[in-house]
């Protein structure tokens, strides 16, 4: 019964993990959790200052982390960034977390809005997997974890483009899991409900000045469990799915939704 607790089963010692969008929010929480559990973390983010702050905190806590500035929507940048990492070390884990949100119906979503969401949320995930799968095949396998959303499989009001993008992430996850079973590459995704990240706070400040607390409570209580999720809770599930404890799991979309799907009135 040795190593039966989370500090045993979910350890990532000796593994190197690329985490996109690791400079803030869910990506930052995943970076912290992975580093705490033994992984060497490569923080990839369009904002190098935020990524640097994540890496600095990891280093100060005794972990290992390096920073790479990269726009995941640009394939040339992803190829160059991942190539630099691959030249130095074997990557065991890829977390495609970088993403952006959007509020609007099909009528209010402009062509520019749609293109931006597609390029970051869909093409960004494709770019990461496109570059990493060959490397993992050559090195005996690996784990890919994509960040989807309940918006990808449930009808949410005013989330047309965002829902489109996250539905594509779920579909890509299934496809890659199926195509690379024989290469020891596992691919899963997490679909969180509303999580309290800086995006939520920025949204409330922008749209409800002076009413931020009131609207935060309203949004939190709209979920059956009565609150928003925490980035650290997503990170806990991510750690499990990327650890050897989850070696029998692939091709699954995991809702982390506070009862959204099954407990709505």
Residue 208 known to be catalytic? no
Ramachandran assignment for 20, one of left (phi > 0), alpha (psi -120 to 50 degrees), beta (any other): beta
* Active-site annotation holder among 162, 180, 208, 216: 162
- For the chain, the distance separating the N- and C-terminal CA atoms, rounded to the nearest angstrom, is 42
User: Which residues, at least 6 apart from 1, have a Cβ–Cβ distance to it below 8 Å?
Assistant: none
182 strand-pairing partners: none
Catalytic positions: 162
């Amino acid at each position: 019964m040795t190593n039966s607790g989370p500090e045993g089963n979910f350890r990532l010692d000796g593994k190197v993990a690329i985490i996109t969008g690791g400079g803030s929010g869910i990506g930052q929480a995943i970076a912290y959790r992975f580093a705490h559990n033994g992984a060497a973390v490569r923080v990839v983010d369009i904002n190098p200052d935020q990524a640097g702050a994540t890496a600095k905190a990891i280093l100060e806590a005794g972990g290992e982390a390096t920073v790479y500035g990269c726009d995941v929507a640009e394939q040339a940048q992803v190829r160059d960034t991942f190539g630099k990492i691959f030249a130095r070390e074997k990557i065991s884990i890829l977390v495609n977390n970088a993403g952006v949100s959007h509020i609007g119906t099909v009528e209010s979503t402009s062509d520019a809005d749609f293109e931006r969401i597609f390029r970051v949320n869909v093409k960004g995930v494709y770019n990461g997997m496109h570059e990493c799968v060959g490397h993992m095949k050559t090195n005996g396998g690996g784990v890919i974890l994509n960040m989807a959303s309940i918006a990808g499989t449930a009808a949410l009001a005013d989330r047309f483009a965002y829902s489109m993008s996250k539905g594509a992430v779920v579909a890509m996850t299934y496809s890659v899991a199926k195509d690379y079973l024989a290469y020891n590459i596992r691919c899963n995704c997490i679909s969180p409900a509303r999580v309290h990240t800086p995006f939520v706070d920025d949204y409330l400040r922008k749209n409800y000045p002076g009413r931020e607390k009131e609207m935060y409570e309203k949004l939190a209580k709209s979920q059956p469990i009565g609150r928003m999720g925490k980035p650290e809770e997503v990170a806990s599930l991510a750690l499990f799915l990327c650890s050897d404890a989850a070696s029998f799991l692939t091709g699954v979309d995991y809702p982390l939704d506070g009862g959204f799907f099954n407990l709505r009135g």
